[in-house]
């Protein structure tokens, strides 16, 4: 990467651990952590309508279909959960669609 391109894709977050550099290149691939089910449940029940709306359609991919009728097919793999980056991308797409519809 040339120097200009590097700075176009770079940002830093300052927090308790100090300044932490990030690069958006490969961001989604590097951030495939599954969301904690308890956290999702709390957000789904939030009194904040925006927060509840963001998480209302959150579905673990291993729960698609009726889990009671397919108990042997339910597997708990981290890769089978909707990741933080997938949810972020999905919500950005919803936001952009909403913005486009209001033009």
State pTM to two decimals. 0.39
Compute the average pLDDT of residues 18-28.
84
* Backbone dihedral angles phi then psi of residue 96, each to the nearest 5 degrees: -65, -40
Share of the chain above pLDDT 70, in %: 69
User: Structural domain boundaries of the chain?
Assistant: 1-30, 34-101
* CA atoms of 16 and 69, how far apart (whole Å): 47
User: Residue 82: its pLDDT value, please?
Assistant: 67
Per-residue pLDDT of 41-85, as tens digits, reads: 999 999 999 999 888 888 754 454 544 534 444 444 444 556 777
What separation, in Å, do the N-terminal and C-terminal C-alpha atoms of the chain show? 37
What does the mean pLDDT of the chain come to? 74
| Burial of 81 (C-beta count, 10 Å sphere; 0-12/13-18/19+) | buried
The total number of residues shown for the chain amounts to 103
């Amino acid at each position: 990467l040339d120097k200009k391109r590097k700075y176009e894709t770079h940002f830093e977050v300052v927090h308790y651990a100090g300044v932490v550099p990030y690069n958006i290149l490969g961001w989604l691939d590097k951030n495939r952590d599954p969301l904690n089910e308890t956290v999702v449940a709390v957000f789904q029940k939030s009194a904040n309508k925006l927060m509840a709306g963001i998480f209302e359609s959150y579905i673990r991919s291993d729960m698609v279909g009726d889990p009671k009728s397919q108990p042997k097919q339910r597997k708990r793999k981290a890769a089978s959960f909707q990741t933080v980056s997938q949810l972020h991308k999905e919500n950005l797409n919803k936001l952009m669609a909403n913005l486009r519809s209001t033009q």
